[in-house]
Amino acid sequence: MNNQNNSHNNKSKRQPNADSPLANNTKTKSDPKSKSVRPTTAREVALEVLTAVEEEGSYSNLVLNQMLNRIRLERADIGLATELVYGTISRLNTIDYFLGQFVAKGLNKLQPWVRNLLRFSFYQIYYLDRIPAHAAVNEAVNIAKRRGHQGISGMVNGVLRNVIRRREELVIPQDLPPAKRIALQHSFPEWMVARWIKQYDEATAEQICISNNEAPSVSIRVNTHRTSRTAMLELLQGEGYDVEISPLSPDGILVHGGGNMALTSWYQDGLISVQDESSMLVAEAVQAKSGMNVLDCCAAPGGKSVHLAEKMNNSGHIIANDIHEHKRQLVDDQAERLQLSIIETTVGDALTLTERYPAESFDRILLDAPCSGLGVIRRKPDLKWNKSMADIKEIVQLQQQLLQNISTLLKPDGIMVYSTCTIERSENEAIVESFLHQNKQFELVPFAPVNTNHAQTGIQILPQDFHSDGFYIAVLRKISM
């Protein structure tokens, strides 16, 4: 994901904002009196993950994967643990708003593990239909007994049973100011909602929030160097998969209820990759052809680099650069799996690419820029609680520098694509418009594979448009003088 490609944009360890619900807002960082209990159930795994995210600033997906690899759970329990972790983080703002009404001394006074136990139990009672409320309470009380003491289990029991009794009363007041109402209704930071209202409008901002709380769809990209989309579609249908062609990408297939496609033999054999539909549009925009010299500036984990190689029919040369040495292997592994040999991986700061390659040496350049990532909150709900307005301001400066710097490497009549996985106009349209204003030798190339009207310059896909990731793409040509 491009928001994690560059160390300029990422700290070595996630640090939640002080005002974020994910921040450790208790005076007691750990509870010396809590019993050490090895997780054995889905709910105990969820509790461990949520508490680690809050106390240590860990990434939820990484901690969850580590836990699931260490503890053998049945498939259904893996699904439940995943649902409880991501669902609770997605709805954190709203959960805390309601739960706060039931905890006499306030949520912030509770030990972190108790707070998270109440949070994901509330999530089950309020948001999930398939789990009986009494079962959610009983499980929470049992965990509280094992980890704490009689007093804590009694409090947990009392709070949750009170939630069940007053379940119908728990509604967000509709007379609140729009940004506050939407933030509480759909569980987003108020500052983020306020920005989206200003940049789009109130209805669009609310739709962005609603869509970001939906489960992401599963889409695969067909390796057209090895097979065709039609052949792959027939293969999948023959095996009983519920599939349809992507309305966004000519290389994409949507898979409904198919599980993890990365575990299939088709993936292992290099016939498909797992990629979001919006992301697939980027290689389409680059318009790379066989034999060309192409630069992918911020390449890891390499999804777009290999897509470019597939579209070039594995003929030509692609420099796939990334700032992180440890991510080089990710790109190499993908290229090997897909049987693509034209990709050369390099490591270094993208700002130094002009020192490593001669001016005007590439036919095509892709700058999939480091960004705030606010278009992929559906896949990474932690993002909304860990970004701030200051983060956006900081990344904008880097994006401007990168675009200006890298543009000198493009040949006359060459094409450069600027893309991000964010819906922030300051990181998208504003960057490109400023660049075009300062660089008269570049022009915007029309690129409209989908019917969107959210941007005057380039295309802006919002999460609700096609239930794909929020993405921005602008195609620029260097005018031959």
Residue 359 marked as a ligand binder: no
Task: Tell me which of 209, 297, 371, 421 is the catalytic residue.
Answer: 421
Residue 380 marked as a ligand binder: no
Residue 300 marked as a ligand binder: yes
Contact 222, 272 (CB under 8 A): yes
**Burial class of residue 13 in the structure, from the number of CB atoms within 10 Å of its CB (0-12 exposed, 13-18 middle, 19+ buried):** exposed
Residue 469 marked as a ligand binder: no
Residue 203 marked as a ligand binder: no
Residue 205, SS3 per DSSP? helix
DSSP state of 425: G
Residue 303 marked as a ligand binder: yes
Run of H or E residues at 220: strand 218-222
Q: Residue 383 and residue 376: Cα distance in Å, rounded? A: 8
> CA separation (Å) from 79 to 75, 88, 127, 208, 219?
6, 14, 16, 25, 19
DSSP state of 446: P
| Nearest Cα residue to 280 out of 238, 335, 219, 230 | 219
Q: 209 an active-site residue? A: no
Run of H or E residues at 284: helix 277-286
Residue 387 marked as a ligand binder: no
Task: Take residue 81 and report the two structure tokens written for it.
Answer: 């643990």
| Sequence-separated (6 or more) residues with CB below 8 Å from residue 362 | 293, 294, 295, 319, 409, 410, 411, 414
Residue 301 marked as a ligand binder: yes
Active site residues: 421
What residues are designated binding site? 298-304, 322, 349, 368
What residues are designated binding site for S-adenosyl-L-methionine? 298-304, 322, 349, 368
